[in-house]
Amino acid sequence: MATRQNSSNGKPKSPRVQVVLPEELCNRLSALAARESRTVSNMAKVLIQEGVKQYEEVQITSGAEASSLSITSTEGFRSALEAQASRRLRGAPRRLRLKRP
């Protein structure tokens, strides 16, 4: 959940969210920010805004289709899981060998 702080004059600041990123993604974000002369925080904000906008557009279009089917969220989740292809594990299972003294 986002935390909200107050500034020294008493007005509330914008909500803050803490995110943990993988090293490679953080480096890519920093490079994008440098290329556009932005701070990393501002670049992250812009990219999140664009991503949320695109996500909402997709949800609105697919939401109209889903509501016409009248599937409950549980049934939809179950059918989506069943539609996924099963994946095999890589290699044979490994067993732990305990050394006895």
> What's the pLDDT band for 24 if we cut at 50, 70, 90?
very high
**pLDDT for 42-61, tens place per residue?**
999 999 999 999 888 888 87
**H or E element, residue 57:** helix 40-69
Residue in the block written with tokens 């609105």:
60
Q: How far apart are CA 6 and CA 4, in angstroms?
A: 7
Res. 66: pLDDT tops 70: no
Q: Is 99 within the bounds of a domain?
A: no
Q: What's the one-letter identity of residue 86? A: S
Q: Is 11 within the bounds of a domain?
A: no
Q: For residue 8, how many other CB atoms are within 10 A of its CB?
A: 5
| In the chain, alpha helices (H) | 23-35, 40-69, 73-83
- Name the most confidently modeled range: 31-40, 70-79, 89-98: 31-40
Q: Are the CB atoms for 29 and 40 separated by under 8 Å?
A: yes
Predicted pLDDT at 67:
54
Predicted pLDDT at 92:
62
Tell whether pTM > 0.85.
Answer: no
Predicted pLDDT at 83:
80
Number of domains in the chain: 1
Range of the domain at 47: 23-81
